[in-house]
Structure 1
Amino acid sequence: MTFGQLAGIIAAIAFLILVVFLCRVLAKLVKTVSQLTSTLNSVTKDADNISDQVEKLLDKTNILMADINEKSQKVEPLFDTIADLSESVSDLNAASRNMAVKISESAKDSSKIKKASTLFSVGKHAFGAVNKAKAKKK
């Protein structure tokens, strides 16, 4: 066997080893790509399921919000009435306070009138007594 033939056999064996190695790598690569494809399909299905659930949740949320808006519109007059009632109570409180002040002033005026009446009555009796005394002197 010549040196050229020996080099050719070594090159053929090296090429054969390279081909076997590449076949193993390609087989593992095919297996990895297959698993990756399976994983992506699973993730896609899960994302679709999540998307469907989110869509249903948004529909239910929209229905709930419409119901809440409708009920809040029904309750709004109640709050308006409560606000009017509180204003009326405030007005009533102010009117009561004014009436109490007027009654208090009236009571003060009444006591002045009573004092004046008493003074007039005392003066009348005194004048009557003076007239009687003058009548007796005559």
Structure 2
Amino acid sequence: MDWILPVAGLIAALAFLVLVIGIVLVLVSVKKNLDYVAKTLDGIEGQVQGITRESTDLLHKANRLTEDIQDKVDRLNSVVDGVKGIGDSIQDLDGSVDRVTNSIAHNISQNEDKISQVIQWSNVAMEIADKWQYRKQQRESANYRG
């Protein structure tokens, strides 16, 4: 009967060892998955930064284009005002300028929709980046506590 206690202790130790090995395997698997998720999020962060940069560049270009078009429209209007009432040929020119102005205004309104979409997507991308950063900070603070 003296041998039962050491055998029970040995069985308990072996069971504990199996449990520890199982936990280690699970933790290794979780670490691999978390590493993969971290790499994926790093890639997404880079893409979001690229999209944000490109959106900003596009917005600046659209603003310069709008200013350039407005300057040209203003110059065309002053030319039309200067030669107004000279004759039928001038009226034809005036009609042409009106068509150009309408075309320019139409193009501007189309670009406004695109710019609005770019800004909306940029906002969505920035929200995703902010949420990712917030979650990363939470994980880091949890790691420091643990």
TM-score, L = length of structure 2:
0.52
The CA distance in 1 between the partners of 2:22 and 2:38, in whole Å, is 24
1:66 to partner: Cα distance: 0.6
Identity %: 30
1:51 to partner: Cα distance: 1.1
- Name stretches of at least 5 consecutive residues in structure 2 with no aligned partner: 86-146
Match of 1:19 in 2: 20
1:71 to partner: Cα distance: 1.0
1:36 to partner: Cα distance: 1.2
Residue identity in the other structure for 2:57: K
Match of 1:70 in 2: 71
Match of 2:9 in 1: 8
The CA distance in 2 between the partners of 1:81 and 1:8, in whole Å, is 107
- Name stretches of at least 5 consecutive residues in structure 1 with no aligned partner: 86-138
Match of 1:41 in 2: 42
Deviation sequence 1:56-111 (CA, Å, 0-9, x none): 101110110111110111122356579x74xxxxxxxxxxxxxxxxxxxxxxxxxx
1:1-138 equivalence runs, <5 A? 2-77=3-78, 80=81, 85=85
Structure whose alpha-carbon radius of gyration is higher: 1
The CA distance in 1 between the partners of 2:21 and 2:15, in whole Å, is 10
Residue identity in the other structure for 1:32: N
Deviation sequence 1:94-132 (CA, Å, 0-9, x none): xxxxxxxxxxxxxxxxxxxxxxxxxxxxxxxxxxxxxxx
Q: Runs (4+) of structure 1 moved beyond 6 Å?
A: none
Aligned-residue CA RMSD in angstroms? 2.3
